[in-house]
Amino acid sequence: MLASVNRVTISSLATAAGTTIPAVATLASVRSANNAARVAERSFDGHQ
């Protein structure tokens, strides 16, 4: 019984990590893209 509970726990933790890691990577990517867009807008506004 304990071994099956450990497998379920390990599986759940692996699923949580497998979901969290891409979510963090996506957040970092979106923030970076937003920052790049702001820089581009400032550069564009300065050259008009």
Distance between CA 38 and CA 35 in Å, rounded? 5
Q: Identify whether 6 is part of a domain.
A: no
Distance between CA 1 and CA 45 in Å, rounded? 66
Residue 28 belongs to domain spanning: 22-48
Query: What is the count of structural domains for the chain?
Result: 1
Q: What is the pLDDT of residue 37?
A: 95
- Using the structure block, give the residue that is written with the tokens 């933790």: 13
Distance between CA 15 and CA 4 in Å, rounded? 16
Q: Identify whether 33 is part of a domain.
A: yes
Q: Which two tokens stand for residue 33?
A: 């893209």
For the full predicted model, state whether its pTM sits above 0.85: no
Q: What is the pLDDT of residue 44?
A: 86
Q: Identify whether 3 is part of a domain.
A: no
Q: What is the pLDDT of residue 2?
A: 60
Q: Identify whether 43 is part of a domain.
A: yes
pLDDT in tens, the chain (48 residues): 566 778 889 999 999 999 999 999 999 999 999 999 999 999 988 765
